[in-house]
Homo-oligomer: A and B are copies of this chain.
């Protein structure tokens, strides 16, 4: 799936290289986004901010040949604000302008821009095409260099209209299609399936920033996206055997003391496309980007459970916390999953009922208005559109808990599999992937080295302690720099580590295979290959990541 975009991106490497140098400084602090929300007439929220804040990095402005050294600037800027007397375009209309023939349009907040003639001048080269027909905002979050008065001026000079604040999808809705009311997605999300919608972005974009922009965060939907009215939303908490459930409205939850948890979430099928090469498996053909990291704000589940009447004694008697989403299949069954109760009630578990993701209300694709965030545990248990929590002696009996998301021996096939014999995946094993370069890329050698960047993560609150890379089949290993890592210690280290390494290259080498493997704080490490971890569902695909590249000297 991922590969389809690559051909258009692999040229113009020199400009990319320059751009990469310019964007080195981005890191944790790129999330200072505006937090004024206005509600649109569809019961949803749009970000309508106008304050742009940016702090502490060196900018070399190649157009104006001017250095904003160690800039400490805060600018109140009108870029992207609604402008009188300009035509209004819907998200759907903008999304059709992705090529030279139709004109290349992008959006920034409420502004619509025609950048057709700028594409060839863009310092980041054709990367701008990833945003064609969509918002540039996620990329400006990834590449802090854009947060520059000159860039805002330049963008505004391409202004052609205003973006309609009516949900684009409602205009084109097909009432007979259960997926007809799904939200409009960013063009940089590459679908693994469209109905239900499942998509990831390029790993090379992912590894640019510790926090993944919402628009580029992988989407894993099992069913159509519910359209929940936050005014009437209710969350029911049931303790098995008790007569009355406790019900919370969204306002009830928002009034409670909140916590912000930054966590990495990963699909159990991330990197499945590599396992598939050994022998076909059933499942979405994920690349290496079914993973992302976001800041979630919400209320600790343990506090909500206490209010619902869960005692310390109950914690010992019950074994599981079941979650039910509002997404429903054709037979009327809701999506469901469960986690062991210790995780929900332990103060070190950090489970929250989240209503914000990266500073904005959780987008519809990610669970609006409430998603349970279960750090360190597989995405499938971080149930979206959460409407019911059941404290139980049993696991969820949902298909996804019982007959999916489980691991098996490589010799187990669909004739012999017995799903009862394996436990449901909860905490995930250690994994890593190279994000830059991508498999098949041609890479320019500089000073006898190439730069390799990637991510590494481990479930269960474990921290990455080392990432090793080799370009000679394991004879020599290079230890990567851990560039971005949360200081939290295990077993409460929930986020990935972004790393980079300079791999030495011999001047006669034309092709290179690079392997990456990570080691976590339990000193667990990745298995070498997929042959011996292959499983019929293609989950837990965490073998060494291996890419082949061409070198340009």
Partner of A477, one of B410, B460, B474: B410
Interface hit among A152-160, A356-364, A427-435: A427-435
Partner of A532, one of B348, B426, B517: B517
Bound-complex Cα distance A524 to B524 (A): 7
Chain B residues with Cβ below 8 Å from A460 are 460, 491, 522
Q: Is B411 within 8 A of A521, CB to CB?
A: no
0 or 1 for each of A517-536: is its CB under 8 Å from B? (1 = yes) = 10101111111110111000
0 or 1 for each of A468-499: is its CB under 8 Å from B? (1 = yes) = 10000010111100000000011100000000
Chain B residues with Cβ below 8 Å from A527 are 525-528
A444 proximal to B (CB < 8 A): no
Bound-complex Cα distance A148 to B474 (A): 56
Q: Is A429 within 8 A of B526, CB to CB?
A: no
Q: Is B519 within 8 A of A411, CB to CB?
A: no
From residue 380 to 398 of chain A, which have CB atoms closer than 8 A to chain B?
A: none
Q: Is B521 within 8 A of A426, CB to CB?
A: yes
Q: Is A411 within 8 A of B522, CB to CB?
A: no
A425 proximal to B (CB < 8 A): yes
A188 proximal to B (CB < 8 A): no
User: Which of chain B's residues has its CB closest to A528's CB?
Assistant: B528
Chain B residues with Cβ below 8 Å from A466 are 407, 409, 422
A425-B523, A428-B523, A474-B531 known; A340 and B407 CB under 8 Å?
no
A99 proximal to B (CB < 8 A): no
Q: Is A459 within 8 A of B522, CB to CB?
A: yes
Chain B residues with Cβ below 8 Å from A477 are 409-411, 532
0 or 1 for each of A444-462: is its CB under 8 Å from B? (1 = yes) = 0000000000000001100
Q: Is A532 within 8 A of B528, CB to CB?
A: yes
Q: Is B522 within 8 A of A429, CB to CB?
A: yes
0 or 1 for each of A412-433: is its CB under 8 Å from B? (1 = yes) = 1000000000110111111000
A18 proximal to B (CB < 8 A): no
A528-B532, A532-B528 known; A523 and B479 CB under 8 Å?
no
Q: Is B529 within 8 A of A422, CB to CB?
A: no
User: Which of chain B's residues has its CB closest to A480's CB?
Assistant: B409
Chain B residues with Cβ below 8 Å from A409 are 466, 468, 477, 479
Q: Is B529 within 8 A of A528, CB to CB?
A: yes
Bound-complex Cα distance A348 to B340 (A): 14
Chain B residues with Cβ below 8 Å from A404 are none
Chain B residues with Cβ below 8 Å from A532 are 468, 474, 477, 517, 528
Interface size on A, residues (CB 8 A): 46
Q: Is A429 within 8 A of B523, CB to CB?
A: yes
Chain B residues with Cβ below 8 Å from A342 are 348, 491
A540 proximal to B (CB < 8 A): yes
A346 proximal to B (CB < 8 A): yes
Q: Is B476 within 8 A of A407, CB to CB?
A: no
- Output the least CB separation between A99 and chain B (Å): 44
Chain B residues with Cβ below 8 Å from A479 are 409, 411-412
Chain B residues with Cβ below 8 Å from A73 are none
- Output the least CB separation between A24 and chain B (Å): 23
A465 proximal to B (CB < 8 A): yes
Chain B residues with Cβ below 8 Å from A428 are 522-523
User: Which of chain B's residues has its CB closest to A529's CB?
Assistant: B528
0 or 1 for each of A115-147: is its CB under 8 Å from B? (1 = yes) = 000000000000000000000000000000000
User: Which of chain B's residues has its CB closest to A459's CB?
Assistant: B522
Partner of A465, one of B348, B423, B459, B525: B423
Q: Is B429 within 8 A of A525, CB to CB?
A: yes
Bound-complex Cα distance A517 to B524 (A): 14
Residue from the set A466, A489, A523 with the largest chain B CB neighbour count within 10 Å: A523
A465-B422, A466-B422 known; A410 and B474 CB under 8 Å?
yes
Chain B residues with Cβ below 8 Å from A348 are 342, 346
Q: Is A540 within 8 A of B523, CB to CB?
A: yes
- Output the least CB separation between A154 and chain B (Å): 44
- Output the least CB separation between A92 and chain B (Å): 42
- Output the least CB separation between A540 and chain B (Å): 5
Bound-complex Cα distance A411 to B517 (A): 14
Partner of A427, one of B423, B517, B522, B528: B522
User: Which of chain B's residues has its CB closest to A517's CB?
Assistant: B532
Chain B residues with Cβ below 8 Å from A533 are 525
Bound-complex Cα distance A526 to B527 (A): 7
- Output the least CB separation between A370 and chain B (Å): 27
User: Which of chain B's residues has its CB closest to A491's CB?
Assistant: B342
User: Which of chain B's residues has its CB closest to A378's CB?
Assistant: B523
- Output the least CB separation between A273 and chain B (Å): 19
- Output the least CB separation between A190 and chain B (Å): 27
Chain B residues with Cβ below 8 Å from A410 are 468, 474, 477
Binding site for B on A (CB under 8 A): 319, 340, 342, 346, 348, 407, 409-412, 422-423, 425-430, 459-460, 465-466, 468, 474, 476-479, 489-491, 517, 519, 521-529, 531-533, 540
- List 5 A-B pairs, Cβ < 8 Å: A342-B348, A342-B491, A427-B521, A517-B532, A525-B533
- 9 additional A-B pairs beyond A409-B479, A430-B524, beta carbons within 8 Å, are A407-B465, A409-B468, A410-B468, A411-B477, A423-B465, A460-B491, A460-B522, A477-B532, A528-B532
